[in-house]
Amino acid sequence: MYDVEKIKKDFPIFRQRLNGRPVVFLDTAASAQKPLCVLDKMRAVYETAYANAHRGSYAFAEQITTEFEAARQTVQKFVNAASAREIVFTRNATESINLVASSWGEQNLCAGDEVLISQAEHHANLVPWQNICAKTGAKLVVFPIADDGSYLKDEFEKHLTEHTKLVAVTAMSNVLGTVFPIKEMAERAHGFGAKILADACQYAVHNIIDVQDWNCDFLAFSGHKTYGPTGIGVLYGKAEIMENMPPYQFGGDMIDHVTYQHTTFADIPARFEAGTAASVQAIGMAEGLKYMQALGLENIAQYEQELIKYTVERLNEVPHLTQVGTAKGKGGVFCFDIAGIHPQDLAFVLNKENVAVRTGHHCAEPLVNRMGYTSLARASLGLYSTKEDIDALIAALCKAEKFFRES
| DSSP structure class, residue 207 | S
What does DSSP assign to residue 12? Answer: G
CA 72, CA 79: separation in Å to the nearest integer?
Answer: 11
| pLDDT tens per residue across span 135-156 | 999 999 999 999 999 999 999 9
Label the pairing between strands 333-338 and 376-380: antiparallel
Are 341 and 402 contacting, i.e. CB atoms less than 8 angstroms apart?
no
CA pair distance 28, 320, nearest whole angstrom = 25
In tens, the pLDDT along 276-291 reads 999 999 999 999 999 9
Q: For residue 383, give the 3-state DSSP assignment.
A: coil
Of 373, 370, 348, the closest CA to residue 360 belongs to 373
At 82-109, the pLDDT tens digits run 999 999 999 999 999 999 999 999 999 9
- Read off the pLDDT band of 158 (50, 70, 90): very high
What is the pLDDT confidence band of residue 403, given thresholds at 50, 70 and 90?
A: confident
- Residue 220 has φ and ψ, to the nearest 5°, of -130, 145
Per-domain residue ranges for the chain? 4-30+297-406, 39-293
2, amino acid identity: Y
Distance CA 107, CA 258 (A): 23
Whats the size of the chain, residue-wise? Answer: 407
Rounded to a whole number, what is the distance in angstroms from the first to the last CA of the chain?
A: 46
DSSP 393: H
pLDDT of amino acid 1? 81
389 phi and psi, to 5 degrees?
-60, -45
Q: Which residue has the higher pLDDT, 406 or 208?
A: 208
Quote the CA–CA distance of 353 and 394 in Å, as a whole number: 11
For residue 90, what are the CA distances in angstroms to 6, 72, 302, 373? 33, 12, 30, 33
Nearest to 324 by CA among 338, 313, 310, 314: 338
Phi first, then psi, for residue 78 (nearest 5°) are -60, -40
Query: For 207-237, how does the pLDDT look when each residue is reduced to its tens digit (9 = 90+)?
Result: 999 999 999 999 999 999 999 999 999 999 9
Is 220 in contact with 203 (CB distance < 8 Å)?
A: no
Average pLDDT, the chain: 97
So what's the architecture of 4-30+297-406 in CATH?
Alpha-Beta Complex (3.90)
pLDDT at 190: 98
**Residues marked as catalytic:** 363
Q: Reduced to 3 states, what is the DSSP secondary structure of residue 244?
A: coil
CA distance 135 to 101: 11
Which residue in 169, 187, 68 sits closest to 120, CA to CA?
A: 169
Nearest to 109 by CA among 87, 130, 93, 88: 130
Three-state DSSP state, 78: helix
Domain 39-293 fold is: Aspartate Aminotransferase; domain 2 (3.40.640)
CB atoms within 10 A of CB 132: 22
Decide if 334 contacts 177 (C-beta within 8 A): yes
Helices 59-79, 279-295: crossing angle, 10 deg rounding = 40
Closest CA to 50 of 253, 284, 272, 230: 284
Q: What is the pTM of this model?
A: 0.97
Q: Distances from the Cα of 250 to the Cαs of 81, 91, 319, in angstroms?
A: 26, 15, 56
Average pLDDT rounded to a whole number, residues 230-253 = 96
Per-residue pLDDT, averaged over 373-387, amounts to 98
